[in-house]
Structure 1
Amino acid sequence: MFFTKLDRAKYISHLDMNRCMSRAIKRAGLPVWYTGGFNPHMYLTFPLPLSLGCESVYECVDLKMTQKVDFDQMVSRLNACLPPDIQVFSAGEQKMDQKEIAWADYEICFRNEDGLKEKLTSFFNQQEIKVIKKTKKGEKEIDLKPHFSLVSMEEKEGKLVAVMRFATGIELNINPTLLLDNAPFKLDVLTLKRLMVYNHQMQSFC
């Protein structure tokens, strides 16, 4: 299933997002599959958990059903049980494995200041951008330069809106804030929103 996570929902943690979706599915009366064993639980997998404070118009969750369901009916029944900022817009059979996820587009809205566009362009165009990335094994220095690109950037009503593409997935997952927090000047980020997720061939994840 694909869903949105907007406005106030950006403050919901991944754990609470899991609980929210589980409860909505239960209330909707969908024939979802539960794991076996001593502590059965609803099988839900979020291939690409969203960072706290980030919105998205393209979130995904995988689940199993014990019987066939009408996907359109599934969407309408679920949305009636979900808050307005979290709404399912599509459901269907899985076509891609989550291991295929490679890139994601984000819309980043900055409070515009004189010369900000030029400063950001100069920052992004450096030959290398070394940062410290925290991993489960500890901290390591990486060069962000090969792992992001600027798709577009334009000024709108006192704001600077940039669409950027970042490496995303199991092998390497770059949070946009890792780049923004290492800018050599202060940035006032108003909103951060995930727009789309792609595989290695730049096909929309589905």
Structure 2
Amino acid sequence: MVYEREVLPIEPPRPKVDPALLLEQPQKVRLFFTKLDRAKYISHLDMNRCMSRALKRSGLPVWYTGGFNPHMYLTFPLPLSLGCESVYECVDLKMTQKVDFDTIAQKVNACLPPDIQVIAAGEQKMDQKEIAWADYEICFDAQYGLKEKLESFFNQDEIKVIKKTKKGEKEIDLKPHFSLLSMEEKDGVLTAMMRFATGIELNINPTLLLDNAPFELRVQSLKRLMVYNKELKSFC
């Protein structure tokens, strides 16, 4: 049996930087991007690789860490769960030279697939630790009586579930950590707009609530729409 050796695509070398143009302090940049359709099946690790390769191919003067194994500095404040779409993802990086934000967005988009596109680039105004809430659009197959069942389930005094953490499993009450903003049924689809606690201190995945419903749910799509701080100001 003959095994064929996998040939990996050759990535362009890091762009050469004029030492005279280097900044004393790297320019901090925050990119906001979408992750839609087929891209929802890309894991966080692959998303990191995708963005790294796009930035390399863009020719932008991205800042690298020092040391024996230098690598591109990328930080995703709120990684998305596999199978979930989003219109408001973000990644933090640094530039060794001052670059216009619109230019950054255009050059990166030219190297990204259509399902992953930068919608804005700007300064890192808020700290990642300020993230506290996120809005989601959840679409269900509109089965008979589903709207009433969901309203009854969400309106319980408490909803105890088992949440897995790095330290093990623990029981928590989800009731204080989510809210139903609206729910509408149209053309056989029940759409729920919901808000969940999220961030470094407490991160509630919507599936944790939906998987503990005492009845069958057929979820068509799950999409993150916006991310907020504790004062419900858009994360920027």
- State the TM-score bracket (shorter-chain normalisation): over 0.9
Amino acid at match of 1:6: L
Superposition map of 1:50-65 within 5 A: 50-65=80-95
Shift of 1:54: 0.2
Please name the residue that 2:42 is paired with.
12
Among 91, 104, 107, the alignment partner of 1:77 is 107
Give the alignment partner of residue 193 of structure 1, picking from 203, 223, 229: 223
Which position in structure 2 is the counterpart of 1:152?
Answer: 182
- Within 2, Cα distance between the matches of 1:51 and 1:165? 16
- Which residue number corresponds to residue 55 of structure 2? 25
Q: Provide the secondary structure at the position in 1 that maps to 2:47.
A: helix
Query: Unaligned regions of 5+ residues in structure 1, if any?
Result: none
2:137 pairs with 1:110: no
SS at the partner of 1:30? Answer: coil
SS at match of 1:82: coil
What's the TM-score once normalised by structure 1's chain length? 1.00
- Is residue 63 of structure 2 the alignment partner of residue 37 of structure 1? no
Match of 2:79 in 1: 49
Query: Hey, what does 2:151 align to over in structure 1?
Result: 121
Report the identity percentage.
85
3-state SS of paired residue (1:91): strand
Q: Secondary structure at the match of 1:179?
A: helix
Find the residue that maps to 2:176 and give its secondary structure: helix
Q: What is the rounded CA distance, in whole Å, between the counterparts of 2:134 and 2:155 in structure 1?
A: 20
**Residue type of the alignment partner of 2:201:** E
- Secondary structure of 2:151's match? helix
Supply the distance in 2 between the matched residues of 1:80 and 1:33 (Cα, whole angstroms): 20
Counting matched residue pairs gives 206
Secondary structure at the aligned position of 2:122 is classed as coil
Structure 2 regions of 5+ residues with no counterpart?
A: 1-30
Residue 5 of structure 1 and its aligned partner are, at CA, apart by 0.1
The structural deviation recorded for 1:45 is 0.1
Provide the secondary structure at the position in 2 that maps to 1:62. Answer: strand
Separation of aligned partners in 2, 1:201 and 1:142:
24
Q: Which amino acid aligns with 2:81?
A: S
Residue range with higher mean Cα deviation, 71-80 or 6-15: 71-80
Deviations 1:164-204 (A, max 9, x none): 00000000000000000000000000000000000000000
Cα distance, 1:156 vs structure 2: 1.6
Superimposed CA distance per residue, residues 22-68 of structure 1 (whole angstroms, 9 cap, x where no aligned partner): 00000000111000111100000000000000000000000011011
Does 2:92 correspond to 1:92? no
Give the match's secondary structure for 1:44. coil
Q: 3-state SS of the aligned residue for 1:67?
A: coil
Using the TM superposition, give the Cα deviation of residue 73 of structure 1 relative to its aligned residue in structure 2, in angstroms: 1.1
When the two structures are superposed, what TM-score results if normalisation uses the length of structure 2? 0.87
